[in-house]
Structure 1
Amino acid sequence: MLQALKSRGYHLGVISNNASLYNVFRVLEDYGIRGFMEDVTVSSVTGYRKPHPEIFRIALRQMQAKPEMCVYVGDTVSRDIIGPKQVGFAKAVQIRSFLSEQKDVHVAADAAQPDKVIGTLMDLVTWLDQINPELAPAPGA
């Protein structure tokens, strides 16, 4: 799935509230996905935790990206949707997980909402192909 995104020209990064940059790298290595990430932004290094807008701005600067050209994917509205929306990301996508409702129990009803809710990361590839058909592979390719 990450290879599918990279082959379409998407640039990938991670923003984490983890207390240790080392732990984030270790998890990415354990899952075999470290090589897909162009940047890893961690709250313990930046001094900001999601959903603070500054951690998203730092990641954008590190990736030399404009927010209006970016899609952010995360599992909670409270940490992964509100911040990117405040910074001006083109899209903010929620992938449902066991944390989604647990962490969002106190989110205000009028809080920013995801542009799309997905069940799996493969759903993300399908949706991105729909909204960016110029990046999708040709039929039969």
Structure 2
Amino acid sequence: MRRQWLAQILWERWGVALEVASNVCKAYLRAFRKCPENLSMSLDSWRRMLWAQALGDQYNKLAGEVYQTWLQLRYDYLALTPEVQNLLQKLRQHYFVGLITNGTSRAQWEKIERLHLRSFFDVVLVSGDLPWEKPHHKIFHVACDYLGVKPQQCIMVGDKLETDILGGAEANLGGTVWVPLSDIQVDGNLPQPDHVIEHVTDLPDLLPKNPKVPRFRRNSRTLRVSLPDFEDGNSNSSDGS
């Protein structure tokens, strides 16, 4: 959907033919998913270069403006709605709430900061800071250990069967809740969630009606750990979102 919006903007604002604009956006997305960042360059410089390559010789002079437009669309699309913000605030009155995201450290923390996510979670883990990524069970257990809870006391809520739901099962969490992003049917070859809900705001219907309020740490902070603190594990890759 964002790709279609941007292709339309390329046509309306800069006169790029729609078919060409669509191909440009596809080329950028392929390159971005293959290598979302280059540690020898800043995130902005790397992404502008990817746009310049996707735009080709005829339009590469537009790379800077197109990149800024894409970045704005990206975070407008990813921003939490007021309903989801309200949900997270209410959940934190009764539960610990954590965020585990796959991806490179710089790119994911940029996302976390731009979307102002820290204030909604008791722990935030980025796979790029650790030796493991979802669905590896250890990344879930790090979050549990930090919060001082047992895996069986936790549920995993996510939109990806192959990382979120499988990871929750592999970590022996108390349950998994799938929030599909589209009308995808559960494939028998994929991990089966314990529950499926249409929208994340339906989550309270699955939770205890009179939960016990946890004792929150007075010095609550966002957890950010470095690689040397842990044993080597599998490599990390971006989710490309």
Normalising by structure 1, what TM-score? 0.77
Q: Is the 8 A contact 1:13 1:38 kept in 2?
A: yes
Q: Tell me the amino acid that sits aligned with residue 191 of structure 2.
A: A
Q: Is the 8 A contact 2:135 2:170 kept in 1?
A: no
Across the aligned residues of Structure 1 and Structure 2, the Cα RMSD in angstroms comes to 2.4
Structure 2: unaligned runs, 5 residues or longer: 1-86, 213-241
Between the aligned residues of both structures, percent identity stands at 31
**1:31 deviation in Å?**
2.9
Match of 1:4 among 90, 114, 129: 90
Q: Is the 8 A contact 2:127 2:133 kept in 1?
A: yes
* Residues 83, 18 of structure 1: alpha-carbon distance in 2 compared, 3 angstrom cutoff: same
1:77 maps to: 161
1:66 maps to: 150
Match of 2:180 among 88, 96, 117: 96
Q: Is the 8 A contact 2:151 2:172 kept in 1?
A: yes
**1:35 deviation in Å?**
0.5
**Larger CA Rg, structure 1 vs 2:** 2
Match of 2:192 among 107, 110, 113: 113
Distance 1:18 1:91 in 2: 24
SS at match of 2:100: strand
1:134 maps to: 210
Distance 1:25 1:126 in 2: 31
Distance 1:65 1:12 in 2: 12
Aligned length: 126
Which structure features the higher share of helix residues? 2
**1:109 deviation in Å?**
2.4
Q: Is the 8 A contact 1:13 1:39 kept in 2?
A: yes
2:201 maps to: 122
SS at match of 1:89: coil
Q: Tell me the amino acid that sits aligned with residue 88 of structure 2.
A: L
Structure 1: unaligned runs, 5 residues or longer: 137-141
| Deviation digits for residues 31-80 of structure 1 (CA, Å, limit 9, x no counterpart) | 33321211111111111111111111122112222111101111111101
Q: Is the 8 A contact 1:4 1:125 kept in 2?
A: no
Distance 1:108 1:126 in 2: 25
Q: Is the 8 A contact 2:136 2:170 kept in 1?
A: no
The answer to whether the aligner puts 1:30 opposite 2:114 as a matched pair is: yes
Distance 1:88 1:111 in 2: 17
Match of 1:14 among 99, 112, 122: 99
SS at match of 2:157: strand
Which structure features the higher share of strand residues? 1
**1:111 deviation in Å?**
4.3
Q: Tell me the amino acid that sits aligned with residue 45 of structure 1.
A: D
Matches for 1:45-64 after TM superposition, within 5 Å: 45-64=129-148
Give runs of ≥4 in structure 1 deviating > 2 Å.
Answer: 22-33, 107-112
| Deviation digits for residues 77-105 of structure 1 (CA, Å, limit 9, x no counterpart) | 1101111112211111111115x95xx9x
**1:123 deviation in Å?**
0.6
